[in-house]
Homo-oligomer: A and B are copies of this chain.
Amino acid sequence: MFFKFTTAGESHGKALVAIVEGVPAGLEIDVDAIDHELWRRQQGYGRGGRMKIEKDAVDILSGVRHGKALGSPIALTIENKDFENWQDVMSVESLTAEPKNPRTVTRPRPGHADLAGGQKFATRDLRDILERSSARETAARVACGAIAKQLLAAFGVEIKSHVIKLGHIQATPLWRTWEEIAAIASDSPLRCADASAQSQMIELIDETKKAGDTLGGIFEVVARGVPVGLGAHTSWNEKLDGRIAQAMMSIHAVKAVEFGTAVANAAKPGSEVHDEIDWKDKGERIRDKGKARALSFRLYPFS
């Protein structure tokens, strides 16, 4: 079985849950590294209050023994620490009495699944929808992704990301080397490689919060060491760029995905865009000249 993950869990339910299948037996699994990714998810200047009160931590229930994958499904949970305050509102069992504060949601919010979900599942309490459509679900995906990262690392693949635009503030230059991206401190407020742009972004966040508004932006993800031939040209649904596009576009608020500089490339002739293929060194083997940036894509989220 290939690497595959399934997530479950409501935002204020007991826990988020995931099952990861297809992790090879014997792979070393570093639980702290998973928690580190959960911690990274909770950083970012201007994050809501919940990120501060709940420090997420993974609990692995199966599939790992003495630090190594067993080859069996890895089940994990991430506790919702605020659940104790939501026990009746989110109770699995039928309630015998109405909760004091039922927290029913009857007004659908723009830009969310509330309206469509409520109509689809015919519920008047939109909490039945928003508890699952909440971006908190991505915490489970981050944990699964952290395991995927450990699998990829065993093959020499590394993945980094950085913010290149927030609102109208753009980092200069946009494109950064791997080393520049790697040099961004993990507790950097916005993980932007341009310190001066980052200061302006922080100001913009403060102003926008004061005005009761929100901001969108762009971030870039870069991988290096990706082995030649990952994915397949043989069937439309095996193509790597298509699979990455689905995974990224399914993240809450992400509404555009671009590989490399595709949007700008669309305005240029092919001769300026395609990488040349050249001989490396003394003709040892052919390879891409590397004008392009390994495998990189940008995401355009809006929140």
Contact = CB atoms under 8 A, between A and B. Distances in A.
A127 B72 CA distance: 13
A280 B302 CA distance: 27
Interface residues of A, number: 118
A236 B241 contact: no
Chain A residues touching B, majority SS: mixed
B65 A10 contact: yes
Given A93-B66, A245-B257, A72 B8 contact: yes
Interface string A107-127: 011110101110111110001
B77 A65 contact: no
Given A1-B238, A21-B235, A73-B8, A213 B270 contact: yes
A276 interface: yes
Given A8-B63, A94-B67, A246 B235 contact: no
Interface string A25-60: 110010100000000000000000000000000011
B270 A233 contact: no
B92 A301 contact: no
Interface of A: 1, 6-10, 13-17, 19, 21, 25-26, 29, 31, 59-67, 70-75, 77, 90-95, 108-111, 113, 115-117, 119-123, 127-129, 131-133, 137, 141, 165, 167-168, 208, 211, 213-218, 228-229, 232-239, 241-250, 255-260, 262-263, 265-271, 273-277, 286-288, 300-303
Given A13-B61, A257-B257, 12 more contacts: A1-B232, A6-B19, A14-B59, A21-B234, A25-B122, A29-B92, A66-B94, A115-B287, A167-B268, A218-B266, A242-B247, A242-B250
30 contacts: A6-B19, A6-B235, A7-B236, A15-B75, A17-B73, A25-B122, A26-B123, A66-B91, A67-B94, A72-B132, A72-B235, A111-B270, A111-B275, A113-B233, A116-B233, A137-B236, A165-B266, A208-B269, A215-B270, A217-B266, A236-B247, A237-B246, A239-B250, A244-B249, A255-B265, A256-B256, A256-B257, A256-B259, A262-B300, A263-B300
